[in-house]
């Protein structure tokens, strides 16, 4: 590998403008809440406390079973349940497999 490269005769990619396009996607509130919740659950598996995750799952199930919940509240309760279930699944997997070695 050279220490220095000469880019004086280089040219820009002529196809780059064809690759970029603006796109509008309309999302409903439930979808936005789902992905926000999934982003919040992206945590290191060793930081997950299984007991707290199980308690959050129980609270979310209780909220959903408690009766009629309106639009955004329903989607928030579902998202919270989904988050708790993912955290439980990751914590149980970590317990079975053991901690990962980094590097």
Q: Where are the domains of the chain?
A: 16-97
Rg, the chain, Cα only = 23
Tokens of 60: 């979310």
- In this prediction, the residues of the chain whose per-residue pLDDT falls under 50 are 103
- Residues 40-61: tens digit of each pLDDT: 766 666 677 788 888 888 888 8
Q: Compute the 3-state secondary structure of the chain and give helix, strand, coil in percent, each to the nearest 5.
A: 60, 0, 40
pTM, two decimals, is 0.46
Task: For residues 92 and 31, give the distance between their C-alpha atoms in angstroms, rounded to a whole number.
Answer: 27
Task: For residues 64 and 17, give the distance between their C-alpha atoms in angstroms, rounded to a whole number.
Answer: 49
Task: For residues 81 and 75, give the distance between their C-alpha atoms in angstroms, rounded to a whole number.
Answer: 10
């Amino acid at each position: 590998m050279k220490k220095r490269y000469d880019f004086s005769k280089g040219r820009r990619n002529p196809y780059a403008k064809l690759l970029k396009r603006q796109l509008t996607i309309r999302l409903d509130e439930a979808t936005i809440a789902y992905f926000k919740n999934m982003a919040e659950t992206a945590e290191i598996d060793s930081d997950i406390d299984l007991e707290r995750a199980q308690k959050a799952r129980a609270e979310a199930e209780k909220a959903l079973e408690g009766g009629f919940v309106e639009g955004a509240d329903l989607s928030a309760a579902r998202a919270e349940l989904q988050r708790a279930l993912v955290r439980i699944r990751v914590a149980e997997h970590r317990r079975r497999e053991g901690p990962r070695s980094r590097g």
